[in-house]
Structure 1
Amino acid sequence: MPTSRSLTCPRCQGTMEAGYTIDVGYGTKAVPKWVAGEPQKSIWTGLKLSGKDQLDVSTYRCRRCGYLESYA
């Protein structure tokens, strides 16, 4: 994940600002997660995640052109 220093947009060279996107589910809101490997379906929970590392995803947005760049 980038440091707190000012980031430059790779497309237009504008200033990037830190933020986040949200995953909205039935009655829940959460920061998206990144999980290694291919998704495996689960009848009960939608996806099998037991024992898998999950990393929060941070997203940066260019103030000039709106480009989004995400990091886990």
Structure 2
Amino acid sequence: MNSYTCTHCGTVGLTEGFIEDAGEHSRGYARWIEGALERGIFGGAKRLGRPRRQIAAYRCPKCGHLELFATGEV
């Protein structure tokens, strides 16, 4: 149990989990990328040279609200 507090209902002790990315060519987990979304010539997101961070996800056991945090660089 951790001491994170739900910003929606105030419950203390959120359940840790992760956000899955099951899309084409995915690595199985989502990442947060700094900056506004820009599309490349083939429609994909431009990512080259941008910092990427893993997403830590926590769910409130009472109301189900998700809290997401961008952690260390990937």
Give the TM-score taking structure 1 as reference length.
0.77
Identity over the aligned pairs, expressed in percent? 30
Question: Quick check: 35-44 or 57-66, which moved more?
Answer: 35-44
How many residues align? The count is 69
Q: Which has the higher contact order (CA 8 A, sep 6+)?
A: 1
Counterpart of 1:16 (choices 6, 14, 17) is 14
What is the TM-score of this pair, normalised by structure 2? 0.75
Q: Secondary structure at the match of 1:25?
A: coil
Deviates more, 1:50-59 or 1:37-46: 37-46
Q: CA deviation at 1:44?
A: 4.0
Determine the C-alpha separation between the residues in 2 that align with 1:23 and 1:65. 24
* From 53, 56, 66, the counterpart of 1:55: 53
The CA deviation at 1:5 is 3.3
Note the residue ranges of structure 1 that are not aligned, 5 or more in a row.
Answer: none
CA distance in 2, matches of 1:50, 1:29: 17
The alpha-carbon deviation at position 33 of structure 1 amounts to 1.0
Q: Report the Cα offset of residue 62 of structure 1.
A: 0.2
Which of 3, 7, 29 in structure 2 is aligned with 1:6?
3
CA RMSD in angstroms comes to: 2.0
Deviation at 1:48, TM superposition (A): 1.3
